[in-house]
């Protein structure tokens, strides 16, 4: 093993960084973290190194590309196109484009191991699962590494892959499955906001002089498809400053994709007012073109007041030829400022959208597009449940961060960073605190992969580690022993099996508790998690839990036993592996053991 490789498997873009594991263990100098440009098709027949690999996959038709024009250095005839060319061609033919695979990977409403993508694919397009799509991106990065570093085979290096902090146990296990299918070995998972903070530490060796004991750091991570919030506290151990990950937010499907679509709909409305209507496929083109135009208008130093966007016309009923429009900077400021980052009080919570009786199946996007409302909800929920002495609070109970660290491509825009700081400062002033201090100096597009590589060094004692562990509390459902009542199922209790913060490489035995495990016949097991309840110790029963617990996908399994069917008294043992995977074991009195996997192949209602 010569290198540590950090991979950011992003919703919109993926990236790879690496650093050398030097043998001079006595050296106090942390090795440099470097980025690897990723070779990929940018046009038919043209392979070029790019700093990012777009997380886009295109399923080509028989006449889409000339023969031999999709060849890669490691594969003369790939079955699918990954990266820049896939992103470009997908604008023209959305029915063959797989996007947001990572969001589908966390969607419990579908079978994530089934071939369902592209979701809107026409008849005849060969589909693949969210796991397989993610595996294609990871395999491309593995093969790209091997083509550039032939003397250091990928499978012989230490590999870290990042996931959203809000990913539950199922989504994490599916990510590991994707890595395994891509040919990875011994993969360790790391939360993206932690990776971003590790990148800041790697760039600032004097970090202990920039923060002090009692500080509370809010990490705001807004990518192409998701928004994540994390709180990190500056604590003390053995007289030295340390870092503790205190809280993570819920998985919020809200990001740059939503903002680009809002801008596309604005232009579509403007065109309609002038008598030009566009269809769904043209809206998809406009959506992608608005993303490019928005990035140009918001990039540092940009002075243009508008950017042209074009749409291919379709038939005489619409427009024969190209439809031309423009995205104006003032429209971006208004749509993002009023719709996605409104200046609201910290008591303003996300609105719940009224649900229709029938809905199209798709990704469960956030009902409220206001990121600032989701941020307010996170700070209020975490303040009410976190340990008092380690979280700075205001009089109203709001968690009051001293610093903020931004991550994600959306926050590359100064407009959005400034608005978030403005909102946070207003909340803090209302609580009697001074303004928040931004932690700056990081490449937002590569911070996660850089931080993952740095974390690999920290695992070898060559850097600072954030104490975190399991990012939520986990429970298993226990059926209550009560007399049968016609038409009413037995009440369900939730038993705490993994407390918040349980560290990797540790195990817990649930004390003084035995339960009847059904063996020899199919039985359903139900699991729950919570990012709010952080003080439930192993073995604690929770009843009438309402919205504080979120149910994961149930599983139905037949646990075999040499004794045939029946009920076996068991106790529970929870294990968190070194790679961050959660396991729940049922242990019988005679030592027999059954492992209950958090379900990765859901039983989805038809």
For every residue of 469-529, DSSP letters joined together read: --SSEEEEEEE-----BTTBPPPEEEEEEE-TTPPTTEEEEPTT--EEEEESSEEEE-EEE
Band the pLDDT of 441: cuts 50, 70, 90.
low
Q: Judge if 241 and 269 occupy the same domain.
A: no
- List the single range of 24-33, 170-179, 306-315 with lowest mean pLDDT: 24-33
**Closest CA relative to residue 134, chosen from 56, 39, 217:** 56
318 or 228, which is more confident = 228
Band the pLDDT of 359: cuts 50, 70, 90.
very low
Is residue 201 included in any domain, yes or no?
Answer: no
Band the pLDDT of 248: cuts 50, 70, 90.
confident
| Region 243-248 average pLDDT | 88
Is residue 147 included in any domain, yes or no?
Answer: yes
Band the pLDDT of 314: cuts 50, 70, 90.
low
7-19 pLDDT per residue, tens: 999 988 999 999 9
- List the single range of 22-26, 474-478, 495-499, 593-597 with lowest mean pLDDT: 22-26
For every residue of 285-332, DSSP letters joined together read: HHHHHHHHHHHHHHSTT---SEEEEEEE--STTS-SSEEEEEEEHHHH
pLDDT at 21 over 90: no
- Evaluate if pTM is beyond 0.75: yes
Is residue 439 included in any domain, yes or no?
Answer: yes
Q: What is the pLDDT of residue 550?
A: 86
* Structural domain span for residue 281: 256-340
118 upstream amide cis, omega within 30 of 0: yes
**Closest CA relative to residue 475, chosen from 550, 570, 587, 571:** 550
Q: What is the pLDDT of residue 388?
A: 47
314 or 177, which is more confident = 177
Q: What is the pLDDT of residue 488?
A: 62
pLDDT at 369 over 50: yes
372-414 pLDDT per residue, tens: 999 999 999 865 544 445 688 999 989 999 999 999 889 988 8
Is residue 460 included in any domain, yes or no?
Answer: no
**Closest CA relative to residue 56, chosen from 194, 195, 268, 257:** 257
| Region 546-575 average pLDDT | 84
Query: What's the residue count for the chain?
Result: 606
Q: Judge if 177 and 131 occupy the same domain.
A: yes
Q: Judge if 177 and 219 occupy the same domain.
A: no
CB atoms within 10 A of CB 292: 14
Q: Judge if 165 and 39 occupy the same domain.
A: yes
Cβ contact 476:596 at 8 Å? yes
CB atoms within 10 A of CB 458: 18
The pair phi, psi for residue 438, each rounded to 5°, is -70, 140
Q: What is the pLDDT of residue 342?
A: 96
Q: Judge if 419 and 511 occupy the same domain.
A: no
597 or 309, which is more confident = 309
Band the pLDDT of 487: cuts 50, 70, 90.
low
Is residue 85 included in any domain, yes or no?
Answer: yes
| Region 276-299 average pLDDT | 86
Q: Judge if 232 and 275 occupy the same domain.
A: no
Band the pLDDT of 461: cuts 50, 70, 90.
confident
Report how many helices (DSSP H) and strands (DSSP E) the chain contains, helices first.
Answer: 12, 31
**SS3 (DSSP) at 560:** coil
| Region 190-215 average pLDDT | 91
- Look up residue 393 and give its DSSP letter: B
pLDDT at 193 over 60: yes
Q: What is the pLDDT of residue 389?
A: 57
Q: What is the pLDDT of residue 425?
A: 98
Q: Judge if 262 and 288 occupy the same domain.
A: yes
The encoded tokens of residue 277 equal 């209507």
The encoded tokens of residue 407 equal 């991550």
Q: Judge if 250 and 263 occupy the same domain.
A: no
Q: What is the pLDDT of residue 131?
A: 95
Q: What is the pLDDT of residue 429?
A: 97
Q: Judge if 86 and 159 occupy the same domain.
A: yes
Q: Judge if 294 and 380 occupy the same domain.
A: no
| Region 461-482 average pLDDT | 82
Cβ contact 381:532 at 8 Å? yes
- The CATH number given to whatever domain includes residue 263 is 3.90.640.10
**Residues above pLDDT 70, as percent of the chain:** 90
pLDDT at 578 over 80: no
112-118: Cβ within 8 A, 24+ apart: 112/174, 112/600, 112/602, 113/174, 113/177, 113/600, 113/601, 118/59, 118/94
pLDDT at 554 over 50: yes
For every residue of 357-378, DSSP letters joined together read: SS--------S---HHHHHHHH
Q: What is the pLDDT of residue 606?
A: 32
Number of domains in the chain: 4
Say what angle helices 130-148 and 169-181 make with each other, to 10 degrees: 50
- The CATH number given to whatever domain includes residue 103 is 3.30.420.40
Q: What is the pLDDT of residue 460?
A: 83
Mean pLDDT in the chain? 86
The encoded tokens of residue 181 equal 């299918």
Q: Side-chain half-sphere of 577: how many Cα atoms within 13 Å? A: 15
Q: What is the pLDDT of residue 485?
A: 57
Q: How far is CA 162 from the centre of its chain?
A: 8
Q: What is the pLDDT of residue 439?
A: 93
| Region 176-187 average pLDDT | 94
- Look up residue 548 and give its DSSP letter: G
Q: Judge if 479 and 520 occupy the same domain.
A: yes
The encoded tokens of residue 577 equal 């592996």
Q: Judge if 299 and 416 occupy the same domain.
A: no
Q: What is the C-alpha separation between 365 and 271, in angstroms, rounded?
A: 26
Is residue 217 included in any domain, yes or no?
Answer: yes
**Closest CA relative to residue 579, chosen from 154, 30, 180, 220:** 180
- Look up residue 399 and give its DSSP letter: B
Residue with tokens 């009697």: 432
Is residue 467 included in any domain, yes or no?
Answer: no
Q: What is the C-alpha separation between 382 and 548, in angstroms, rounded?
A: 12
pLDDT at 95 over 60: yes
Is residue 457 included in any domain, yes or no?
Answer: no
């Amino acid at each position: 093993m010569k290198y540590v490789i950090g991979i950011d498997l992003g919703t919109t873009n993926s990236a790879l960084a690496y650093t050398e594991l030097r043998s001079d263990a006595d050296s106090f100098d942390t090795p440099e973290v470097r980025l690897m440009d990723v070779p990929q098709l940018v046009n038919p027949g043209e392979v070029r190194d790019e700093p990012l690999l777009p997380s886009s996959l295109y399923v080509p038709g028989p006449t889409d590309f000339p023969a031999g024009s999709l060849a890669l250095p490691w594969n003369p005839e790939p079955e699918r196109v990954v990266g820049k060319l896939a992103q470009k061609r997908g604008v023209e033919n959305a029915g063959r484009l797989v996007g947001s695979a990572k969001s589908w990977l966390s969607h419990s409403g579908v079978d994530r191991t089934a071939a369902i993508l592209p979701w809107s694919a026409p008849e005849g397009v060969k589909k693949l699962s969210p796991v397989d799509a993610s595996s294609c991106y990871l395999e491309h990065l593995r093969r790209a590494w091997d083509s550039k570093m032939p003397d250091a085979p990928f499978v012989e290096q230490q590999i870290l892959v990042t996931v959203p902090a809000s990913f539950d146990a199922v989504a994490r296990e599916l990510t590991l499955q994707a890595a395994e299918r891509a040919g990875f070995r011994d993969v360790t998972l790391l939360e993206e906001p932690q990776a971003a903070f590790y990148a800041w530490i790697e760039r600032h060796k004097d970090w202990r002089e920039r923060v002090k004991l009692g500080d509370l750091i809010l990490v705001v991570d807004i990518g192409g498809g998701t928004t994540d919030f994390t709180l990190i506290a500056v604590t003390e151990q053995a007289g030295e400053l340390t870092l503790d990950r205190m809280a993570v937010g819920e998985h919020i499907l809200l990001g740059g994709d939503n903002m680009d679509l809002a801008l596309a709909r604005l232009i579509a409305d403007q065109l309609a007012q002038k008598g030009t209507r566009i269809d769904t496929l043209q809206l998809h083109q406009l959506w992608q073109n608005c993303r490019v135009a928005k990035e140009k208008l918001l990039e540092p130093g940009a002075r243009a007041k508008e950017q042209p966007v074009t749409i291919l016309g379709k038939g005489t009923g619409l427009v024969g030829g190209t439809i031309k429009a423009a995205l104006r900077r003032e429209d971006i400021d208004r749509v993002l400022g009023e719709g996605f980052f409104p200046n609201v009080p910290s008591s303003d919570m996300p609105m719940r959208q009224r649900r229709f009786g029938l809905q199209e199946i798709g990704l469960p996007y956030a009902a409220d597009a206001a990121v600032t409302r989701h941020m307010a909800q996170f700070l209020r929920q975490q303040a009410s449940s976190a340990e008092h002495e380690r979280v700075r609070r205001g009089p109203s109970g709001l968690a009051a961060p001293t610093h903020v660290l931004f991550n994600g491509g959306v926050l590359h825009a100064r407009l959005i960073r400034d608005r978030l700081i403005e909102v946070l400062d207003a909340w803090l002033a209302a609580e009697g605190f001074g303004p928040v201090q931004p932690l700056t100096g990081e490449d937002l597009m590569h911070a996660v992969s850089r931080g993952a590589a740095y974390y690999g060094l920290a695992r070898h004692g060559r850097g600072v580690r954030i104490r975190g562990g399991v990012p939520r509390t986990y429970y298993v459902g226990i059926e209550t022993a009560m007399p049968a009542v016609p038409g009413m199922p037995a009440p369900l209790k939730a038993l705490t099996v993994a407390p918040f913060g349980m560290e990797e490489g540790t195990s817990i035995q649930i004390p003084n508790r035995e339960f009847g495990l059904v063996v020899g016949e199919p039985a359903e097991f139900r699991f729950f998690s919570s990012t709010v309840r952080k003080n439930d110790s192993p073995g604690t029963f929770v009843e009438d839990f309402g919205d504080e617990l979120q149910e994961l996908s149930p599983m139905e399994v037949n646990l075999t036993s040499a004794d045939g069917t029946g009920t076996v008294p068991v106790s529970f043992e929870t294990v968190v592996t070194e790679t961050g995977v959660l396991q729940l074991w049922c242990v019988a009195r005679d030592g027999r053991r059954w492992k209950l996997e958090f379900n990765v192949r859901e039983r989805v209602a038809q």
